[in-house]
């Protein structure tokens, strides 16, 4: 099930919220667990066994850790290793076999046969949450869950189950025990949900055909390549930001306050700043559970650069089992290392540095989107004009002016919205306009109207998946 579907909007969500609010506060983890399992099982019932198994594995490991201080670290390592093996098998088995067969073919040896394993949706996110739980409890950075039901509800919490934000138990543990349910918080959540829904359906889905059409071309020209690259840059941003906004909004409706996942990343003046603004929950997770354990910046300059590179390389691999993601991670790891070596963090850089930073991000998104490395380099050749300049007849025939219009609107929002928030902050003395905009009557009415238009558009379409489901 996805948020951008009629079954979710008009059946699942109203029924869940009704059951949730009718349940006494001390038992609210139970409807969360039941609702989340139904939400997940809507995709494939058979993968519920894996999901439940991961939950039980981590809870049993946690109990062993709690029962034995002497062996707690060993149990923690065992638990983390079990999670990583599970993620590795389901996410990278097919990739490993395919890469090995390619090597055999180049050596003139016949390929080996192997079954294909289906990638469970959301596995990267709930595995990361489970790992952070075990590590934080072992470090005594997180309180112990009051019950198995609270822990199971945390792992399965459906608003962020499929595509984040990546939650840490230490950030929501207190909320499981003592959270408020007010009309003000519910209204704020509804506003965030409607805003995120419109961003996904009206902008991301509208520009998606442009990206798909360009990346399908064999030799895209200069103009075609840049239209496709700019379209995907907008599509991914509004798709993922929209999902995160909906997840945060649903959490607020349930009394939870999740971490913000985006903070206008395309106005960054360096790659370092970009990763403070893009997918913030992942950036924070990689820093705390990978970069710092590797040594961070505590073991000299050279080791710092290596740690940055390895963190981003593994972060790229986390996104998917494809060499394109590995190269994308290496690209960002290299840029981060260069900025660190030069002592540049971009915070006080002139605004003109937004241009090369955004260009570097777009170059990275091309290989991130490409089906394979060859397709990415076809795009790169087009972007520097090696395949011609003008728009070809094939793409001109496919190109939608509606999609182009929303592409322009998307880029205008990217650059205008931060200025708008600064303007509102100067007037209202509130820098968090995005979270309290629902209190403004005009903003509320406009949001509802746009949401209705988005629902109408969704109803006219057959399916509206989220890009990050595949990661």
For residue 1, what are the contacts with CB-CB under 8 A and spacing of at least 6? 7, 8, 12, 39, 42, 43
Backbone angles phi, psi at 164, to 5 degrees: 85, -175
Contact, 132 vs 248, CB < 8 A? no
For 399, which DSSP code? -
**In sequence order, which residues have a C-beta less than 8 Å from that of residue 166 and are 6 or more positions away?**
125, 128, 129, 132, 160, 281, 282, 285
Look at residues 239, 19, 38, 57 and name the one whose alpha carbon lies nearest to residue 151. Answer: 57
What H or E segment, with its residue span, contains residue 183?
helix 183-198
Of the candidates 84, 161, 172, 80, the one whose C-alpha atom is nearest the C-alpha of residue 125 is: 161
Strand partners, 388: 386
261 with 244: CB under 8 angstroms? Answer: yes
d(CA 313, CA 332): 8
Q: Which residue has the tokens 């442009």?
A: 210
Cβ distance 61 to 78 under 8 Å? Answer: yes
Per-residue tokens: 267: 């106005």
With contact defined as beta carbons under 8 Å apart, do 324 and 368 qualify?
Answer: yes
Distance CA 132, CA 138 (A): 10
Token code pair at residue 372: 């394979």
Q: Is 319 a catalytic site residue?
A: yes
Q: How many CB atoms lie within 10 A of CB 351?
A: 8
What is the helix (H) or strand (E) element at residue 365, kind and residue range? helix 354-369
**What is each CA distance from 71 to 68, 77, 134, in whole angstroms?**
5, 10, 14
For 338-360, give the secondary structure using H, E and C. Answer: HHHHCCCCCCCCCHHHHHHHHHH
Give the total residue count for the chain.
Answer: 471
Token couple for 3: 């948020």
Catalytic: which of 138, 279, 319, 332? 319
Residues forming the active site:
319
């Amino acid at each position: 099930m996805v948020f951008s579907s009629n079954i979710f909007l008009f059946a699942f969500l109203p029924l869940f919220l009704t059951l949730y609010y009718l349940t006494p506060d001390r038992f609210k983890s139970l409807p969360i667990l039941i609702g989340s399992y139904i939400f997940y099982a809507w995709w494939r019932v058979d993968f519920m066994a894996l999901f439940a198994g991961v939950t039980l594995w981590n809870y049993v490991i946690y109990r062993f850790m709690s029962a034995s201080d002497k062996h707690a670290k060993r149990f923690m390592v065992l638990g983390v290793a079990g999670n990583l093996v599970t993620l590795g098998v389901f996410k990278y088995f097919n990739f490993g076999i395919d890469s090995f067969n390619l090597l055999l073919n180049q050596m003139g040896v016949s390929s080996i046969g192997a079954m294909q394993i289906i990638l469970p949706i959301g596995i990267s996110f709930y595995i990361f949450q489970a790992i952070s739980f075990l590590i934080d409890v072992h470090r005594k950075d997180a309180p112990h869950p009051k019950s198995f039901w609270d822990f199971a509800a945390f792992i399965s919490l459906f608003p962020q189950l499929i595509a984040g934000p990546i939650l840490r138990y230490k950030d929501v543990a207190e909320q499981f025990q003592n959270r408020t349910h007010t009309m003000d918080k519910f209204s704020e959540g509804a506003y965030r949900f409607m805003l995120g829904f419109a961003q996904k359906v009206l902008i991301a889905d509208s520009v998606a055909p442009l990206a798909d059409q360009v990346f399908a071309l064999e030799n895209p020209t200069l103009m075609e390549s840049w239209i496709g690259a700019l379209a995907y840059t907008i599509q991914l941003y509004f798709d993922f930001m929209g999902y995160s906004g909906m997840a945060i909004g649903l959490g607020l409706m349930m009394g939870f306050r999740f971490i913000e996942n985006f903070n206008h990343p395309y106005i960054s003046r360096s790659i370092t700043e970009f990763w403070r603004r893009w997918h913030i929950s992942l950036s924070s997770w990689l820093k705390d559970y990978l970069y710092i354990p590797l040594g961070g910046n505590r073991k000299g300059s050279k080791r710092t650069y290596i740690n940055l590179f390895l963190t981003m390389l593994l972060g790229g691999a986390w996104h998917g089992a494809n060499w394109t993601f590995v190269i994308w991670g290496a690209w960002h790891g290299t840029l981060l290392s260069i900025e660190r070596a030069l002592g540049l963090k971009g915070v006080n850089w002139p605004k003109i540095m937004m241009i090369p930073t955004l260009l570097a991000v777009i170059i990275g998104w091309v290989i991130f989107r490409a089906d394979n490395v060859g397709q990415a380099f076809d795009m790169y050749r087009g972007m520097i004009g090696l395949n011609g300049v003008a728009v070809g007849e094939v793409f001109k025939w496919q190109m939608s002016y509606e999609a182009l219009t929303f592409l322009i609107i998307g880029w205008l929002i990217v650059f205008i919205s931060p200025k708008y928030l600064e303007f509102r902050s100067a007037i209202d003395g509130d820098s968090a306009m995005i979270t309290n905009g629902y209190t403004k009557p005009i903003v509320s009415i406009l949001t509802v109207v746009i949401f209705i238009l988005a629902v109408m558009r969704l109803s006219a379409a057959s399916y509206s998946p989220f890009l990050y489901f595949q990661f």
